């Protein structure tokens, strides 16, 4: 670990980004090379730890630099887990206020997702580059709660993509571990159902809303090990899907760089911020 951080400190800092690791070639790469290695079309999935200013700032830099590098202003689309697809019409309307600058980017974020998500302002500010509102990927909590209590068949089919399925044993095992033994097994199964339904909805909305270059902002548990939302998106889309796991130096674990003997690599790239 000491050797790793000694290496990080010798790298040039690109905004908040300290290092980029390519898990396929198993080496650190320069930031500019990382941007060129990202596909010029398809889905770029940015798996994150939520509400950490340094991480959201790094995401914003990556999105901005990739759009600029590919001159993708007419095809780029920013998609976000923290807003519900049922609110898309209101999001679009509020977005017009932001484009006209009658409200700020911070006010826009607050109106569509709450003040607690203000760290995402740099990302949502970038939608001004494309002139398109962010795409809402999630499902309202009340619908998830209904599914947990009554099962998938208890909710309106409009909320269940045709390709929906319950995740496999590996995903459930990781989910159970993430719950930390704080819930009985029957509740874990219910929460897992809601998790998988969220994955299905997010992948569906990302696929149907895709133009040319999509940036998907989602929690890393939905994207780690090419599982969850990523696995479903790969099943339904013919587009390339590239994954990034973002962390800061405080939350970084050396395991992020390694191939897990059960699950494989966390993502195609690991990005470490201050």
pTM of structure: 0.93
Which three-class secondary structure state does DSSP give residue 10? helix
Which ranges constitute the DSSP H helices of the chain? 2-10, 31-37, 53-70, 88-99, 105-113, 121-125, 127-130, 141-150, 169-179, 185-208, 229-236
Q: Count other Cβ atoms within 10 Å, centred on residue 32.
A: 12
Q: How far is the C-alpha of 219 from the C-alpha of 143, rounded, in Å?
A: 19
Low-confidence ranges of the chain (pLDDT < 70): 1-15
DSSP 164-216: -----HHHHHHHHHHHTT-S-HHHHHHHHHHHHHHHHHHHHHHHHT--SEEEE
Per-residue pLDDT at 180: 83
Q: List the structure tokens of 165.
A: 């399925």
pLDDT tens-digit map of 223-268: 999 999 999 999 999 999 999 999 999 999 999 999 999 999 999 9
Q: List the structure tokens of 166.
A: 């319950």
- Tokens 């947990």 locate to 148
Per-residue pLDDT at 15: 56
Q: What does each C-alpha distance from 33 to 6, 30, 119, 124, 215 come to in angstroms?
A: 21, 5, 27, 25, 18
Residues making up the chain, counted from first to last: 274
Per-residue pLDDT at 8: 41
Q: What does each C-alpha distance from 166 to 10, 64, 138, 226, 261 come to in angstroms?
A: 45, 35, 17, 15, 23
């Amino acid at each position: 670990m000491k050797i790793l951080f000694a290496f990080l400190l010798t790298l040039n800092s690109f905004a908040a980004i300290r290092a980029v690791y390519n898990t396929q070639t198993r080496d650190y790469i320069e930031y500019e090379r990382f941007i060129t290695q990202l596909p010029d079309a398809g889905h770029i999935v940015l798996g994150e730890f939520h509400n950490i200013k340094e991480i959201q700032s790094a995401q914003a830099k990556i999105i901005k630099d990739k759009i600029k590098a590919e001159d993708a202003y007419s095809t780029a689309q920013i998609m976000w887990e923290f807003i519900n697809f049922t609110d898309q019409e209101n999001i679009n309307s509020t977005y017009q206020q932001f484009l006209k600058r009658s409200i700020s980017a911070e006010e826009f974020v607050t109106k569509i997702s709450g003040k607690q998500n203000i760290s995402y302002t740099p990302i949502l500010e970038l939608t001004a580059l494309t002139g398109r509102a962010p795409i809402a990927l999630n499902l309202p909590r009340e619908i998830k709660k209904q599914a947990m209590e009554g099962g998938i068949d208890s909710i309106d089919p409009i909320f269940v993509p045709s390709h929906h399925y319950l995740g496999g044993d590996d995903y459930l095992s990781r989910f159970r571990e993430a719950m930390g033994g704080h819930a009985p097994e029957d509740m874990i199964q219910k929460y897992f159902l809601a998790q998988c339904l969220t994955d299905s909805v997010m992948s569906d909305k990302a696929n149907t809303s895709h133009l040319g270059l999509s940036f998907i902002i989602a929690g890393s548990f939905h994207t780690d090990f090419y599982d969850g939302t990523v696995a479903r998106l790969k099943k339904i889309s013919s587009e390339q899907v590239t994954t990034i796991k973002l962390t800061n130096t405080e939350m970084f674990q050396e395991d992020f760089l390694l191939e897990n003997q059960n699950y494989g690599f966390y993502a195609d790239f690991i990005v470490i911020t201050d």
